[in-house]
Structure 1
Amino acid sequence: MHWKKHVTGLTFCFFFVPSYFTNKYVLSVLKFTYPTLFQGWQTLIGVLLLLLSGKLGWVEMSSFSRSAALSWLPGSLLFVGNIYAGSRALACLPIAFFFTLHNASEVVYVFMERLIKRDFDQAGYTWGVIHLCSLGAYRVFQTHFKPNHLSDIEQHYVNYLISVLLLVLAAHPTGDLFGAWKFPFLLSLRFQSGCCASALLGFFLLLATVKLKSGLASEQCNMWIFLSKVMAICLSPFVFISDVNTPSLACVVFSHIGEVLLVYSDRILR
């Protein structure tokens, strides 16, 4: 039965790397920097595929009350901030630097945990910090205020639904709706294929993540997530142009060494 754990982890890696690479391609190479539309499209497809998967019995989704969905609303708002800022950051930053900032969300998570228990591209890094703060706060909310009557799949369904509504409403005020009509690749096969692949890969990554977290211990999940990031970082220079110098490379290396130590310490404490 031990081999099944490796299959689950490898499946997660299989969807993790192409998912981030496809997003990076659309946002950075094709320069489709309209996150309300891009993330709105992804979450809309996510909602539809989750509904279809629930009807076909591929995932477990029970009917939940409106009050249950409303109780998860703060988590959904943090989720929207997470994906919006993450999209803006990924468009500007190399994948290695994006994941380095992503790791910093653990600091936000630990800091806010203590608080609750009472115990270079300026724009890219600004959105990266907002992304990691939203992600860290989302993890705190998910850990301490998780409704017992909502499964992980149902939480993501509510997240996607709220995200679609908010991002669609925000598309016009932010100028994304008007700007997208002038996008030069709008009717190109490359752009349309990239958007479709991004939405599908994001959905399958969600399913793989839920399967990974439900089937493995937390330290094993964290190790597979770490390996996926390392794979993406090592492969990204062969796909995308990145300007890396010695200080930035050292920052990336030390960040992920810290992640390994965090995973190891979590294993020891458990």
Structure 2
Amino acid sequence: MCVRRSLIGLTFCTCYLASYLTNKYVLSVLKFTYPTLFQGWQTFVGGLLLHVSWKLGCVEINSSLRSNVLTWLPASVLFVGMIYAGSRALSRLAIPVFLTLHNVAEVIICGYQKCFRKEKTSPAKICSALFLLAAAGCLPFNDSQFDPDGYFWAIIHLLCVGAYKILQKSQKPSALSDIEQQYINYIFSVVLLALASHPTGMRDWPSPRGLEDQAFQGLRNSRFGRIKVISSASWTSRSCISTDSMAAAVPVDF
């Protein structure tokens, strides 16, 4: 049993890091910096996989709990903010820097539990939170590739992660299971990101012709097929490993 748990933990950590590496490659090396399209595709794949798993009987989703969906929508909004800001931050920051800032969300959760819910917190957990906070505070002064925009989006990301987990904990026991919560997150994300992709894509980013030029340049520099395989693996991997469903699952990620 211990060996089995170790293998499961090792597999999760490997997939978790692989998702960040492949997403970083797509966002930075391939210059695919279109978060609404990028995250919309990932959440669509994740929602589709959950829906198919539900229909095949692999997971259980109660479709009669529609009255509880409205109570979960604020968390879904935070989920969209979390993955969007995480994608923007990851495209500008190194992976160790991003993950260090991402983990600061645990400081927010620890402070909330200690100050507002008056829960007993072990000294080891408090020391861990303080070390995380100190490490994040030292990053801007020791980052040779300091990017203000990257840090800005990383702060938005960690605030959304912290607020999401706090909201999730405050609703326990919830009528929605973790799988149902994530299913709602995916559906809401696809709808919201689809609505947001058109105005932001046309106004703030290059034209479709520019996208074609970037795609052609990326294929030529990376010897064609390898990029298509890696980018497809990135979309599928990040979708299947839900940031915060698995960390609460995160998150990141993104």
Specify if TM > 0.5.
yes
| Matching residue of 1:81 | 81
Range with bigger deviation, 60-69 or 23-32: 60-69
Deviation at 1:137, TM superposition (A): 0.4
Q: Decide whether aligned partners of structure 1 residues 95 and 11 sit closer, same or farther in structure 2, where only a CA change above 3 A counts.
A: same
Deviation at 1:199, TM superposition (A): 2.5
1:125 aligns with 2:161: no
TM-score normalised by structure 2 residue count: 0.75
Specify which of 175, 179, 182 is matched with residue 206 of structure 2.
Answer: 179
Deviation at 1:207, TM superposition (A): 10
Q: Decide whether aligned partners of structure 1 residues 162 and 20 sit closer, same or farther in structure 2, where only a CA change above 3 A counts.
A: same
Deviation at 1:45, TM superposition (A): 0.6
Range with bigger deviation, 87-96 or 177-186: 177-186
Q: Decide whether aligned partners of structure 1 residues 196 and 52 sit closer, same or farther in structure 2, where only a CA change above 3 A counts.
A: same
| Matching residue of 1:160 | 186
1:136 aligns with 2:162: yes
| Identical amino acids, percent of aligned pairs | 49
| Matching residue of 1:198 | 234
Q: Decide whether aligned partners of structure 1 residues 202 and 64 sit closer, same or farther in structure 2, where only a CA change above 3 A counts.
A: farther
Q: Is the 8 A contact 2:85 2:154 kept in 1?
A: yes
| Matching residue of 2:13 | 13
Distance in 1, Cα, partners of 2:191 & 2:10: 34
Aligned Cα RMSD in Å? 2.8
Unaligned runs of 5+ in 1: 214-220, 230-270
Taking the TM superposition and a 5 Å limit, the aligned residue runs for 1:1-270 are 1-114=1-114, 116-117=116-117, 120-146=146-172, 148-175=174-201, 179=206, 181=208, 182-183=210-211, 184-186=213-215, 188=219, 189-190=225-226, 192-206=228-242, 210=246
Report the count of equivalent residues. 215
Q: Is the 8 A contact 1:46 1:199 kept in 2?
A: no
Alignment-mate amino acid for residue 202 of structure 1: R
Deviation at 1:60, TM superposition (A): 2.4
Distance in 2, Cα, partners of 1:186 & 1:54: 35
Deviation at 1:77, TM superposition (A): 0.5
Unaligned runs of 5+ in 2: 120-145, 220-224
Alignment-mate amino acid for residue 205 of structure 1: I
Range with bigger deviation, 163-172 or 181-190: 181-190
Alignment-mate amino acid for residue 233 of structure 2: A
